[in-house]
Amino acid sequence: MLLISDAIELKSFMHDVGTIEFVDVHECINNKIKASLLYVDTHHKVRSQWIIEAEENGYSDAKLGVDMSIPVTPKADLPKIQIVPTSDFGSFNLKGFKIKDKLRQCYFLLNENSKGEKIKAISPLKFIEFEATIAPEIDKKIAELWIKRTAKLIESVPILEEIVITFLPSYLDNFITFEPKEREINELELLFNSPISVIYTSQNKKSLFQENWKTICPDIGSTGYRMYYSILRECADELEKSIIDVYFQIGSQYTFPYFLASINELISLDLICFEKFEFVTIKQPDN
């Protein structure tokens, strides 16, 4: 994946500093994450290259691939983005967070001056620094597991939109007191991949659920039925809606964590399809 800061106008920036940084993050055959950093000049030639690999201890190891003694891009302070969480964020367990994203060159802040216990995590390649403030009674070891997994997910996705981060506080506030399980991690992956994916189903599957929901999902009750059916109705024969699009369509009468869990369950039941785009445009250059 090729990641470029949205805040940078490539042509003017390259003339000012001489080079620009491009980052490619990918998963290798051994399931380890690796990143290639290229510094490209105004003639589109690679002047320096770094390879970064995740180590067993969770930290990274930078190795110089090519160095032509050309000064690289000077580092500036990351622009701060104040996160306004969704209305269902209660701030019961999660009080605030700071996410420093060196890939997208931005700094996400939620309740920057919040009080409580501070916990920190760094992603495997050190591109993401995550500091969370939690309620004093929360188990810090369990909370650390959550922010470590979240930091790793943020590092691994090709696009990170601000709107995705606005849904994160509600989800973490709801689950950070419990040790993360595969189901919850899958739900977070759905959230972070929502900008580069669509969900859809068919009229036949919608009818199948409507007629047989008590057999297919015997434990969801009438509230669950309304949620599931609303999702299926919005996804039927529609190939252009993301998870967040569907959430806005069915209304905010449901909390986002409950909605995301319902999406995950419908996918596992093969009642809706989740499809990630194979190719993603990160930035469209100006003409």
Sorted by sequence, the CB contacts under 8 Å of residue 157 that are 6+ apart come out as 192, 193, 196
The per-residue pLDDT for 26 is: 65
Per-residue CA distances from 217 to 115, 210, 213, 220, 222 (Å): 42, 11, 5, 6, 11
* Share of residues in the chain with pLDDT > 70 (%): 72
Q: Is residue 65's pLDDT more than 50?
A: no
The per-residue pLDDT for 5 is: 38
Kindly report the average pLDDT of the chain as a whole number. 83
Q: How would DSSP label each residue in the chain? A: -EE--TT--HHHHHHHHSEEEEEEEEE-TTS-EEEEEEEEETTS-EEEEEEEEE-TTS-EEEEEEEE-SPPPPPP-PPPEEE----TT---SSEEEEEEEETTTTEEEEESTT--SEEEEEE-TTSSEEEEEEE-TTS-HHHHHHHHHHHHHHHHH-S---HHHHHHHHHHHHHHTTS---HHHHHHHHHHHHGGGEEEEB-HHHHHHHHHHHHHHSTTSHHHHHHHHHHHHHHHBT--S--HHHHHHHH-TTS-HHHHHHHHHHHHHTTSSEEEE-SS--------
The per-residue pLDDT for 135 is: 98
Domain ranges of the chain: 2-67, 80-177, 197-276
> If you average pLDDT over residues 248-254, what whole number do you get?
83
Instruction: Output the pTM of the full model.
Output: 0.78
Q: Is residue 285's pLDDT more than 70?
A: no
pLDDT, tens digit (0-9, with 9 covering 90-100), for 12-53 = 344 445 666 676 776 666 666 667 767 777 777 776 766 666
Report the C-alpha gap between 10 and 4 in whole angstroms. Answer: 9
* Share of residues in the chain with pLDDT > 90 (%): 61
Q: How confident is the model at residue 1 (pLDDT cuts 50, 70, 90)?
A: very low
pLDDT, tens digit (0-9, with 9 covering 90-100), for 80-116 = 999 999 999 999 999 999 999 988 889 999 999 999 9
pLDDT, tens digit (0-9, with 9 covering 90-100), for 199-238 = 999 999 999 999 999 999 999 999 999 999 999 999 997 6
> If you average pLDDT over residues 126-142, what whole number do you get?
96
The per-residue pLDDT for 105 is: 85
Tokens of 184: 């919850």
Q: Which residue has the tokens 């994450």?
A: 33
Dihedral sign (CA 123, 148, 272, 251): negative
The per-residue pLDDT for 237 is: 78
